[in-house]
Amino acid sequence: MPNRFYGAFDTERFSGKQEIPGDFRSPFQVDRDRVLHTPAFRRLQNKTQVFWSGEYDFYRTRLTHSLEVAQIGRSICHWLKAPGGLLADDYFIDPDLVEAACLSHDLGHPPFGHAGERTLNFLMAGYGGFEGNAQTLRLLTERIFSAKRTGMDPTRAFLDAVLKYKSLWTELKTTTGELPEHHFLYDFQHQWLDWAMGGHDFPAEYPPGKERDSFKSIECQIMDWADDTAYSLNDLADSVRAGFLRIERIEGWAEKRGEPISEGTPLGELVTAIRKRKVDPFVGSRIGKYIRSASLSADVNFLSGTSNRYGFRLNVDPAVKAESKLFKKLAFENVFLSPQLKQLEHKGNHLLHRLWDVLEKRYVSGDSIDGQNFQLLPEDAAMEIEQADSVEKKARLVCDFLAGMTDGYAARMYKRLFTPDFGSISDLIG
């Protein structure tokens, strides 16, 4: 049965190419499948989520996190389609499209988690910055198929579903007078933003920044809530298992912050689950609760007449949203700010700094290293950088190389370059 929710505007690809004749898949299934079968997606298995990948087998990585977000996103779509709502059997939010967005939402994140993202943004301050979501857009549109560097030619609805932020780096720099820390697109990505918006300019009520970022398609809204759900619950379970969130620490934190922890409160139920060794069932039931907390309402805006994707707003029960915020705050202050993780972040920052220093000097500035031009990068990467016609493009390509590294690859390359007794001829292949 055809789905009336989407039209030709939503399924159009940037190249204008039509779907392959006889393909049994929908355009959004093609988008999802293209993402799944790329090295960029597979590399997520060795990129940090909370704890460094490889630390222990059972901790979540960017890959397992993305898979969990995708499952939650699909479930939200099915929940919203329940009888009696605004949707119908022939008029619904496509779960394959949402799954594709959820699987892709972290593709652009560099090694070493958000600390690595901040480091690359600092290093790229003179070349237009670095942002994980902007890098995801770059991969999908320009880099993801490495042979031709043409991107995956996404549909408009899919591309729009991963556009959490819609302000350009220079726009935010001009607005605030400071270099943006996060939540921006690269300046050269304006063409993709314009295409995703169907050529419509943002009205005055959507200035660059938070107001514009709040303008998301319904699929992007669902992906965002699925990500929040996974982040606030699944990462919590890892933190308990790793010993960062012990009962006494949670109780002390709650007392210090004035948060209730009695029976029946979110923190109280978490403590009970830890005491009974039932954290995973606690998380599982909470995920179901968070999914069921979502509902739809009609929305009218400057694009709602162009696509149904902008005709709806995702609403989340305020109590559930507050609980999610509480759990994220608990994990942030007790885990992410802990000396143990900060030491690892410092190490990742140091690795990326040293790698950038030598690669920027060799391939961007064009300076020799002690009078010699060592070939430090794979041949195809080095050739592409050398053929770039501006310093900014060269720097961006070096940044692409660093951002595409897994945690393990970055550590090995660092050792090969700077540790005298590490490395062999065979090790040079990766």
Per-residue pLDDT of 25-77, as tens digits, reads: 999 999 999 999 999 999 998 887 665 555 555 577 889 999 999 999 999 99
Q: In this predicted structure, what is the pLDDT of residue 430?
A: 46
The low-confidence residues of the chain, meaning pLDDT below 50, are 428, 430
Length of the chain: 430
pTM: 0.93
Residue burial 276-306, b: 16+ Cβ < 10 Å; e: rest: eeebeebbeebbeebbebbebeeeeeebeeb
Pairing between strand 294-298 and 312-316? Answer: antiparallel
DSSP 315: E
Residue whose token pair is 């919590």: 236
* Burial class of 313 by CB neighbour count within 10 A (0 to 12, 13 to 18, 19+): middle
Residue whose token pair is 């972290």: 106
Number of C-beta neighbours around residue 269 at 10 A: 16
Q: How many helices (H) and strands (E) does the chain have?
A: 20, 2
Domains of the chain: 8-213 (1.10.3210.10), 218-336 (no CATH), 346-429 (no CATH)
The whole-angstrom separation of Cα 236 and Cα 70 is 18
Q: In this predicted structure, what is the pLDDT of residue 16?
A: 84
Per-residue pLDDT of 180-230, as tens digits, reads: 999 999 999 999 999 999 999 999 999 999 999 999 999 999 999 999 999
Q: In this predicted structure, what is the pLDDT of residue 6?
A: 98
